Structure 1
Amino acid sequence: MEHTSEYLTPEIKLSCYEDKFFKSEIIFDQHMLVWFISGETKIVQAEETHHFKAGDIFLIPRNKPATIINYPDNGLPHKSVVMLLTEKTLRDFYSRIDVKASSAPLSKLYYFRNHPLLESCLASLIPYFSIKGQFPRNLASLKITEAISILRAINPDIDGMLANFDDPHKVDLISFMENNYMFNMPAERFSYLTGRSLTTFKRDFKKAFNTTPQRWLTEKRLGLAHYQLSEQKRKPTDVCYETGFENLSHFSYAFKKQFGYSPTDLITPKATRRQHT
């Protein structure tokens, strides 16, 4: 994979993927504002799937599981400007204004399609990437403050998310797992996001599902994959990466072990399959 990142500061970078395809399960520790210059991205979350192309801008929240799939588009690499809205920056910003965060903020992806103010703010960073030398920290702080101010002007409700600095609270385990099993995360991350220690998570999981997390996750992912292949007629490659599997070979092996036939058997017409048997 050919991936390069040029940093102006630890919070601002220009990210570029030259490969035809890149996929990762990601949970960001900080809120992240992204402007796409070229390429295409699919972001799969528990609630919905988002498609972004050149010119699109979005804010993805921290501690929110997502599958990120990047594609080049029209022969151009996948390139984006990324700005991290760190907890320190946001605490400093909100300490100067009278805003109370929601006790239960709606943690969701915010989409700003070709918004002129945000685009102007992020595009103004591009020339600095071609200038050798250190980017002034005070200027970086001003640009990030500008971006936060624009976000608040566009959608005042965004304060409920940006001004909330709480760690995840203990949530209903069954509901959380049923909504997020398709994300390929370690047990430690699942435990953190459900507000539990790893030991408590495993104990509560055994009590709720009467099995181990890994066994349950594999069965749930394979069940979802089978449904998408047989009922929705989706491609095995898309199903593989959107149901929590690392690669197509592992997915095909696990699928055949579970069901006795391969994923491609579900999309091959029966008459064609008989000719080859």
Structure 2
Amino acid sequence: MEQNGAESRAMIFVSCKREKHYSREVILPWHALVRVYAGEMRIVSADRSFVFRAGDTVLLPRNQLGRLSKVPFNGEAFKSVSICFPQETLQKYYSAIQQPLIVPVPPDARLLSQHPLLESLFSSLLPYFDLADELPQEVTDIKVNEAIAVLRSIDKSVDNVLGHFEEPGKIDLADFMEKNYMFNLTATRFGYLTGRSLTTFKRDFKKAFGDTPEKWLTRKRLETAHYQIVEQKRKPSDVYFEVGFENLSHFSYAFKKQFGYNPTSVANN
């Protein structure tokens, strides 16, 4: 079953991207273990970036804001297999074992070293995607639990990621927004990531910036775009998505409304 480039088997799926460039903002609701088979997977966060290629296995933490790109490489379409770990599955797993001491760690993407157990895990999954029917839930549950056991076996510190169940706590809103304004999220999602309800987020935002989130975000993104087009001589078509606009026409309209001229006229000067 092909859906937007991903063949679904519940919490285990294959992703295949043939287009030249596929990119989107992402906040994973669950931790995910990803094996890249072809192409490149690029992740850009507020202050770090990562590039993963064929043969790499990566543990992606939940609730982390970034821009994920899946790109063909050396003429090969991007292909990966992912295993997601729902919170209820992890809580059930950890409640059945002796509870480890959890020390929360920086929530960065974690590149795992090659290991026979990882090779065996992913090799055992590939044949299932030749099935015409959905993978039985019982089999999916077994494989997800196997993946947890494999991770804990090869990396003792992984408990600090998988076994940490707390939701985002209240953090410095102004600092977070200054670092992450270019990500195209709703105010509700920004509020969640800063540990606030929507009402509290809007109230605290007004105190911090003296404006509504919508107006501040638009102005901040346009100012950044203006600098990149005028000073760095970048094309509007290369800038609009990076600063948080969904499409070029909306960006061009907002840019002209803000500055009084089209971004293309500036770029051509």
| Cα distance in structure 2, aligned partners of 1:90 and 1:77 | 32
Amino acid at match of 2:167: D
Q: Are 1:182 and 1:221, in contact at CA under 8 Å, matched by a contact in 2?
A: yes
Partner in structure 2 of residue 49 of structure 1: 49
Distance 2:238 2:157 in 1: 34
Residue 124 in structure 1 maps to residue 124 in structure 2:
yes
In the aligned structure 2, how far is the partner of 1:239 from the partner of 1:14? 30
Match of 1:98 in 2: 99
SS at match of 1:241: coil
Task: Pick closer, same or farther for the CA change 1:150–1:214 going to 2, 3 Å.
Answer: same
Equivalent residue, structure 1, for 2:242:
242
Q: Shift of the alpha carbon at 1:38? A: 2.1
SS of 1:70 mapped into structure 2: strand
Count residues in correspondence: 267
Q: Aligned equivalents of 1:50 and 1:113: distance in 2?
A: 16
Unaligned runs of 5+ in 1: none
Q: Within 5 Å, which residues of 2 pair with 1:143-158? A: 143-158=143-158
Using the TM superposition, name which of 49-58 and 187-196 deviates more: 49-58
Match of 2:170? 170
CA distance in 2, matches of 1:255, 1:119: 49
User: Structure 2 vs 1, CA of residues 38 and 203 (structure 1 numbering), >3 Å: closer, same or farther?
Assistant: same
Query: Where does the alignment leave 5 or more consecutive residues of structure 2 unmatched?
Result: none
TM-score between the two structures when normalised by the length of structure 1: 0.84
* 180-189 vs 39-48, greater mean Cα deviation: 39-48
Q: In the alignment, which residue of structure 2 is the partner of 1:109?
A: 109
Cα deviations across residues 156-184 of structure 1 (Å, max 9, x unaligned)? 33322211111111112112211211111
Task: Tell me if structure 2 keeps the 8 A contact 1:57–1:115.
Answer: no
C-alpha separation in 2, matches of 1:112 and 1:206: 42
| 1:126 CA drift (Å) | 0.7
State the percentage of identical aligned residues. Answer: 48
Aligned-partner residue type, residue 40 of structure 1: E
Residue 3 of structure 1 corresponds to which residue in structure 2? Answer: 4
**Segment drifting more, 210-219 vs 223-232:** 223-232
User: d(CA) in 2 for partners of 1:100 and 1:79?
Assistant: 36
CA distance in 1, matches of 2:228, 2:155: 35
**Deviations for 1:160-213, whole angstroms, at most 9, x for unmatched residues?**
221111111111211221121111100111111112111111111111110010
Instruction: Read off the aligned partner of 2:8 and give its amino acid letter.
Output: Y
Residues of 1 paired with 2:243 and 2:154: CA distance?
34
Report the Cα distance in structure 1 between the residues aligned to 2:240 and 2:116, rounded to whole angstroms. Answer: 37
Residue identity in the other structure for 1:196: R
* Matches of 2:249 and 2:198, distance apart in 1: 30
Distance 2:115 2:234 in 1: 33
The superposition leaves residues 101-155 of structure 1 with CA deviations (integer Å, 9 ceiling, x where unpaired) of: 23x5422211236555424322321111113345344443332233223333443
Call closer, same or farther: CA 1:92–1:36 in 2, change over 3 Å.
same
Distance change >3 Å, CA 262–CA 105, structure 1 → 2: same
Aligned-pair CA distance for 1:217:
0.9
- Do the aligned partners of residues 134 and 257 (structure 1) sit closer, same or farther apart at CA in structure 2, a change above 3 Å counting? closer
Residues 44, 242 of structure 1: 8 Å contact kept: no
Q: For 2:6, give the aligned amino acid.
A: S
User: What are the equivalent positions in structure 2 for 1:1-277 lying under 5 Å apart?
Assistant: 3-8=4-9, 10-95=10-95, 96-102=97-103, 104-112=104-112, 117-230=117-230, 234-264=234-264, 268=268, 273=269
CA distance in 2, matches of 1:3, 1:85: 21
Partner SS state of residue 100, structure 2: coil
The letter for the 1-side match of 2:190 is: F
**In structure 2, C-alpha distance between the alignment counterparts of 1:184 and 1:6, rounded to whole Å:** 26
C-alpha distance in 2, partners of 1:57/1:137?
24
Structure 2 letter corresponding to 1:4: G
Q: Which moved more, 1:219-228 or 1:238-247?
A: 219-228
SS at match of 2:33: strand
CA contact (8 A) 1:6 1:15 kept: yes
CA distance in 1, matches of 2:164, 2:115: 25
